[in-house]
């Protein structure tokens, strides 16, 4: 999906919502467990209930990898079922030496047909560049993450000049373009969005941490939105686990609808 196509979907749906498919076999409704592929069936019903309210889905690959081959099969089926109208972000946080990154890129962009992939920047440009070589595919680079441990390194000052996360944001902009590079910026750091928009004014930001992690949609949107929206706000557990009963898809839709309506007001 191109940047223009993504923005068109945002305007059409009045939404910049990304639904995270962190599908845990131990948390899905028990009535699905008797089915041949309960993970895919859960995802399918969540997608059917929310596809008009969001512009992206983000399956976290760890939840699928943990189930071995059948988990990968469920992930492949899920990505195929989502289709071309939504950006599919494979949340795998890959990144390694160049030839290994190339294989990761082929796995997710060619074999899995994901539209975007989360990538760790720690090993530098040669570990990220192979992911940027695929047309109409996105690298979503970890910038300032939402987890508590982000305090351990990401705020450390580099050469007494700037925090590490700022160094990542500034340097990585020379690697990719507005059309193939996004940054992860956690919703749990709402006070940083104004500053980050000065550093990367035009790039899309993938924002996890709204919902279960307590991020404030209105605060981050106030400073994070730009002239072409520029935000994809992810909610995972807060949507997909709204209910553990047979009404789980209906309740997921209700949670997604609340976020979509708030986003429509802010666009």
Q: Which of 44, 77, 93, 257 is catalytic?
A: 93
Q: What is the model's pLDDT at position 160?
A: 77
Homologous superfamily, domain 3-266: Aldolase class I (3.20.20.70)
**Mean pLDDT of successive 10-residue segments in the chain (267 residues)?**
97 98 98 97 98 98 98 98 97 96 98 97 96 97 90 82 92 97 91 92 93 76 95 96 97 97 96
Taking phi over 0 as left and psi of -120 to 50 as alpha, with beta for the rest, 130 belongs to alpha
Give the pLDDT of residue 161: 84
CB-CB contact of 228 with 7 (8 Å): yes
CA distance 175 to 30: 46
| DSSP-based three-state secondary structure for 234 | strand
pTM for the model:
0.96
Residue 23: both structure tokens together: 């599908």
Number of neighbours of residue 75 by Cβ within 10 angstroms: 25
Please confirm, yes or no, whether 58 is among the known catalytic residues.
no
Radius of gyration of the chain (CA): 18
């Amino acid at each position: 999906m191109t940047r223009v196509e993504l923005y068109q979907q945002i305007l059409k749906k009045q939404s910049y919502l990304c639904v995270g498919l962190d599908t845990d076999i131990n948390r899905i409704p028990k009535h699905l467990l008797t089915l041949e592929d309960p993970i895919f069936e859960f995802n399918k019903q969540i997608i059917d209930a929310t596809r008009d309210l969001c512009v992206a889905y983000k399956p976290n690959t760890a939840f699928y990898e943990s189930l071995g081959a059948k988990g990968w099969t469920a992930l492949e089926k899920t990505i195929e079922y989502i289709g071309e109208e939504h950006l599919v972000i494979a949340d795998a946080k890959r990144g390694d030496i160049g030839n290994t990154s190339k294989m990761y890129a082929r796995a997710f962009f060619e074999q899995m047909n994901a539209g975007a992939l989360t990538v760790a920047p720690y090993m530098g440009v040669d570990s990220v560049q192979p992911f940027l070589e695929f047309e109409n595919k996105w690298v979503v680079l970890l910038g300032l993450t939402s987890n508590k441990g982000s305090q351990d390194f990401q705020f450390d000052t580099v050469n007494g000049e700037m925090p590490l996360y700022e160094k990542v944001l500034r340097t990585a902009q020379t690697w990719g373009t507005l059309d193939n590079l996004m940054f992860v910026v956690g919703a749990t750091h709402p006070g940083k969005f104004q500053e980050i928009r000065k550093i990367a004014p035009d790039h899309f930001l993938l924002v996890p941490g709204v919902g279960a992690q307590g991020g404030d949609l209105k605060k981050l949107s106030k400073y994070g939105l730009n002239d072409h929206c520029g935000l994809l706000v992810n909610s995972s557990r807060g949507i997909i686990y709204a209910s553990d009963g047979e009404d789980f898809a209906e309740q997921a839709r209700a949670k997604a609808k609340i976020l979509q309506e708030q986003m429509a007001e802010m666009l």
